Amino acid sequence: MLNAPRQGRIAQAAGATRKPDMLGAMALRYPAMGPLKSQGFPAFLGERLGAPGVHLRSFGDDLSSLLRTNRLCLVDSGASANLVAALVLASHCGLPFGAARGELPKKRRALASGFSHPSTLSALHLAGFDVSLVDTEEGGFGISPEAVKRALEGERGEDVAVVCVTHFLGFPARIDLVADIAAAKHVAWTLQDACDTLGLHIAGYPIHAWATFTTYALDPESHLAAYGGGAIATDDGGLFEECETVSHLGRPLVPAPAVFGDEEDLEPEKHLVPAREPLAAREGLGVEMSDLDACYGLFALESAPSSARRRAVHYGVFYETLSQHPKLIVTADPFNGSSPYVFPVRVRSGDARAFHERLTARGIEVRSAIAGSIVDHPAFAGIAHDGLVNCKKTLAATVVLSIHPSLPTEDVEAVAELVAEVADKL
């Protein structure tokens, strides 16, 4: 039995589900995200903002500690992180910038999951890789290790240079199994898209231990908001320096200036910063993180533990309310150091289109599986794939609900009850 306040909220949502926002557009009663915390940031900024680069160094050090990696290249977005990592990998595969001007190497294929983000596939394509997609695990969102093995043992398996693994929606893919399969087939490079998660562990290790590069997004919707930003983690010092150089207009790394303070106790690579002079050592991009975004990242790190707890609480609210519903399938939080990005709900029979429409009509901002199957995007309609049977089946049956920490928990509770009510009538 619902209490009176919740009955009132649900009744109100059942009627006028939308209200005009400040720009005159129609806003949903239950949006996927609320405003980011800003109270206290002006004072924090006034106290902390100083010489250029100081916050980048501090934020990089603190985030490296959180992720348990010594080498973290900070960039302006998760998409830029994917692009820089792909370009560095391409240069090692014989596909440097402008590779189309010369003879292309045979070993230039990249395998990726049917559930991948457009920016990940765009990065691989722009770097010169010939991308093929493989299926996901049945009923899940991660790339299927068996599908990767089949592709590597197939007719064009010897042409694969890179395997890309995406922890889609923050659900852990079996990067450990994929890494072992790739190594056994002499695939030297792995790109891991962790933009939907933060601090994830697989088989007892931080996920970057399983891949050549691991990329993160630090935008407002992500687990940690630098307001705008991304990061590339690698355990290889040489590859780290290449990422730093590519992301800073191709400028070589030089010893850090004295403005950063005492460098005596730092590891050798942390003595290096991109040169300020405009002489490029290699072709590069201007996609480094700004010091102001790094300052907000430091501010956000202070509330990161409480934000993670709120994500977990919101996931738990949905799971507790919907896990026993006879018409729905939900997934327990696979907590491995990081909570999922959203809460997925699958209908047990048919597809989820009617479910999606009815939830939206009740004022709930609900989406299909975010970017969806990548082959549904016009830009990637012609991409090669293995049929993606599991991927397409999961996508058709799934909608996702927001668990963002900016949402009031009472709204999450009301949404969970509305979802159950709508599902009763399917």
Task: Write down the pLDDT at residue 313.
Answer: 94
Residue 15 shares a structural domain with residue 26: yes
Beta strands 160-166 and 205-206, pairing class: unpaired
The answer to whether 226 touches 297, Cβ cutoff 8 Å, is: yes
Q: Which residues of the chain have pLDDT under 70?
A: 1-27, 36-38, 46, 48-52, 98-102, 256-272, 276, 278, 369-372
The per-residue pLDDT for 91 is 93
How many distinct structural domains can be found in the chain?
2
Q: How far apart are CA 250 and CA 278, in angstroms?
A: 9
Q: How far apart are alpha carbons 141 and 344 in whole angstroms? A: 10
Token digits of residue 49: 């903002």
CATH number at residue 362: 3.90.1150.10
pTM of the predicted model, to two decimals? 0.86
pLDDT digits (tens, 9 = 90+) for 11-24: 444 443 444 343 33
Buried/exposed code over 162-196 (b: 16+ C-beta within 10 A; e: otherwise): bbbbbbbbbbbbbbbbbbebbeebebebbbbbbbb
Residues 172, 270 share a domain: yes
CATH number at residue 177: 3.40.640.10
Do 85 and 171 reside in the same domain of the chain?
Answer: yes
Mark whether 218 and 121 lie in a shared domain: yes
Asked if 67 and 212 sit in the same domain, the reply is yes
Task: Say which residue the tokens 């560095």 belong to.
Answer: 88
Give residue 183's pLDDT. 96
Q: Which two tokens stand for residue 386?
A: 């293995």
Are 181 and 149 members of one domain?
A: yes
Q: What local confidence, expressed as pLDDT, does residue 165 receive?
A: 98
Tens digit of each residue's pLDDT (9 = 90 or more) over 396-413 = 999 999 999 999 999 999
Residues 77, 128, single domain; the answer is: yes
> Cα 113 vs. chain centroid, distance in angstroms?
14
Quick one: 194 and 290 in the same domain? yes
Last residue of a domain, one of 279, 302, 325: 302
Residue 195's domain comprises: 41-302
d(CA 138, CA 134): 12
Same domain, 131 and 253: yes
Q: What is the pLDDT of residue 218?
A: 95
Residue 285, classified by CB atoms within 10 Å of its CB into exposed (0-12), middle (13-18) or buried (19+), is middle
Please give the sequence-ordered ranges of beta strands (E in DSSP) within 339-382, or none if there are none: 342-347
Is the domain of 276 the same as that of 163? yes
Of the candidates 242, 274, 302, which is a domain's last residue? 302
Q: What is the secondary structure of 140-162 as a DSSP string? A: SSSBPHHHHHHHHHSTTGGGEEE
Per-residue pLDDT at 13: 40
Q: Using DSSP, state whether 405 is helix, strand or coil.
A: coil
The pLDDT value recorded for residue 7 is 41
Distance CA 279, CA 300 (A): 35
Same-domain check for residues 116 and 171? yes
Are the C-beta atoms of residues 388 and 373 closer than 8 Å to each other?
yes
C-alpha span between 246 and 264 (Å, rounded) = 27
Which of 255, 284, 302 terminates a domain? The answer is 302
Are 74 and 119 found together in one domain?
yes
